[in-house]
Amino acid sequence: MTIQKKLLVLVDGSERSIETVNYIKDVMPVDGNSQIVLFHVFSGLPEAYRELENDPSCAVALSQLKNQETEQQKRIRDYMERAKKILITGGFPEQSIEIKFHPLEKGVARDIIEEAKNGYSAVVLRRRGAGGLASIILGSVAVKLLQSLIFIPILFVGQAPSVKKILLAVDDSPSSMKAVEFTAALFGGYGHEVGILHAIPGLGSINFALTKVSNKECSETEISDNCVEVFKLKIARMFNNIKKILITSGIDSEKISEKIVAGVLSRSEAIVKEAEDGGYCTIVVGRRGLSKVEAFFMGRVGHKVVYGGNKFSVWVV
């Protein structure tokens, strides 16, 4: 699998967004395929105020507001140039970095979604921002992006130290394998470490799954060790396939680890704990692999991995 490494990076004028740019500088591979677009949605003067432009009684106030708008535009443009310089110092060629200052049209989320349709390989944003992006992760903008950007991976950048160490949380779903292929295509050949993790839920949530894995009868109350081992063998075969994909992409076999955690109460908590214990910077999950899509966005797994693992950078592929 080959991808054009074209990243849509959302920046809002905050120091948090500068940390997003630093993450890209420290973690993302630099090569001839790399292209970074720094994108800012500028809300400017509210339309309601513009409608008062011809009212003499509002002339002074509007003039002051327009001056503030002009100053804010300059501040944001200078900020974006600063972000561009950070990427250049990290080795990205100047010609591979584009600044897009986008006046608000339909709304912050809708404008981002429209821009994301222009051939990008992923959208990158900070968990919390300022100004127009203040509600990301905790508000409506994040929900709209997660639900609508189903055609492209999304990366939420966290505060964990930027190291080239990635945790792949996998199952046997097509979405999970897509996440594996995306990771291989993006990071193969650049010295990254990759940990492969699969968490087997405890008895309360895997009884039905285990009956499908084994030819034996596995009752709800009596799941034998042999039955669990059958499941582990299936996962081991999946791990072998994943390792082949990663190694073929150029990831050193000695930098690939694998782990199966059985009997967990929460798969999402197990993923976050492994990221903490293993010193990972980035967690990669398939969009639909861990649960139904509605449950991923609104339920336990999505909440714990994307929200609960809030100090980590989380790729949703």
Q: Is 153 in the same domain as 171?
A: no
Distance of CA 182 to the CA centre of its chain: 12
Residue 1 lies in a domain: no
pLDDT tens digits along 26-78: 999 887 778 999 999 987 655 555 555 566 666 666 566 666 778 888 899 99
User: 123 forms bridges with which residues in the sheet?
Assistant: 8, 154
How do the residues of the chain divide into helix, strand and coil, expressed in percent and rounded to 5?
50, 20, 30
User: Is the pTM value of this prediction over 0.85?
Assistant: no
Distance, CA of 165 to CA of 181 (rounded, Å): 16
Residue 137 lies in a domain: yes
Q: Of 157, 178, 194, which one is at a domain's C-terminal end?
A: 157
Q: Is 178 in the same domain as 303?
A: yes
Q: Is 151 in the same domain as 193?
A: no
Distance, CA of 249 to CA of 225 (rounded, Å): 36
Tokens representing 233?
A: 């063998």
pLDDT tens digits along 114-129: 999 999 999 998 876 4
Burial class (CB in 10 A: 0-12, 13-18, 19+), 292: exposed
Residue 23 lies in a domain: yes
Q: Is 216 in the same domain as 280?
A: yes
Alpha-carbon distances of 243 from 108, 120, 167, 177, 305, rounded to whole Å:
39, 26, 13, 11, 23
Q: Of 127, 157, 187, which one is at a domain's C-terminal end?
A: 157
Average pLDDT of span 129-137? 44
Q: Of 103, 125, 157, which one is at a domain's C-terminal end?
A: 157
Mean pLDDT computed over every residue of the chain? 80
Q: Residue 255 maps to which CATH number?
A: 3.40.50.620
